[in-house]
A and B are shown apart, each in its own frame.
Chain A
Amino acid sequence: GNSVTQMEGPVTLSEEAFLTINCTYTATGYPSLFWYVQYPGEGLQLLLKATKADDKGSNKGFEATYRKETTSFHLEKGSVQVSDSAVYFCALRMDTGRRALTFGSGTRLQVQP
């Protein structure tokens, strides 16, 4: 079946540090890929997405590139802020058949001032 694997957290960084959160996937076919973010006490919010190989999703300074050859969708940000502290979820969805999202287990990011 389809699955998503994320690096374990928590990831603790100082403000303005570079962020990478690794995400790899297993899927039969070519999924769309997503990053969702969950701030403390809030619901899941879509951060960015990419629907085909080599697409780059970007939003709020975060970027991720859909790499078919390595089945990866790593999340990056050049300079994190304290306000980026949250749990980040990588997810995939097939465009035919099953419509549900398959999520990774999440990576908690803590940014210290």
Chain B
Amino acid sequence: DTGVSQNPRHKITKRGQNVTFRCDPISEHNRLYWYRQTLGQGPEFLTYFQNEAQLEKSRLLSDRFSAERPKGSFSTLEIQRTEQGDSAMYLCASSFGSSGTTDTQYFGPGTRLTVL
């Protein structure tokens, strides 16, 4: 069990560019979550996958954001036409859940995005 991994760890980009982040969950975890954390705040939910299905999206996830989880394994989060307000830490978490249980989410180290 190597934990949740995220790449890259840091990304600096210019406003208007597209960026893509990758998350590799703990193997056999069927649920995957993306959160965003700004300085001095707690993480805020962006989107959630169960296997390959994207089951929930937050209102924070504008049309410029898209997430995928092909084959129910790793996930990617893409931000198009980045804005300075997108600067934040993007966190991925995974869990193994089934109906009737309280699953525990395990977080990756995050990808810090800076938009200049």
Contacts and interface: CB of A to CB of B under 8 A. Distances in A.
Interface residues of A, number: 23
A100 B42 contact: no
A95 B31 CA distance: 14
Given A99-B56, A106-B42, A32 B107 contact: no
Contact of A105 (B33, B42, B102, B107): B42
A43 B110 contact: yes
Interface of B: 4, 31, 33, 35, 40-45, 48, 55-56, 58, 91, 93, 97, 102, 104-110
30 contacts: A43-B91, A43-B108, A43-B110, A44-B91, A45-B107, A46-B104, A46-B105, A49-B102, A51-B102, A89-B42, A89-B43, A91-B42, A93-B102, A95-B102, A98-B56, A99-B97, A100-B33, A100-B48, A100-B56, A100-B58, A101-B33, A101-B35, A101-B43, A103-B42, A103-B43, A103-B44, A105-B41, A106-B40, A106-B41, A106-B42
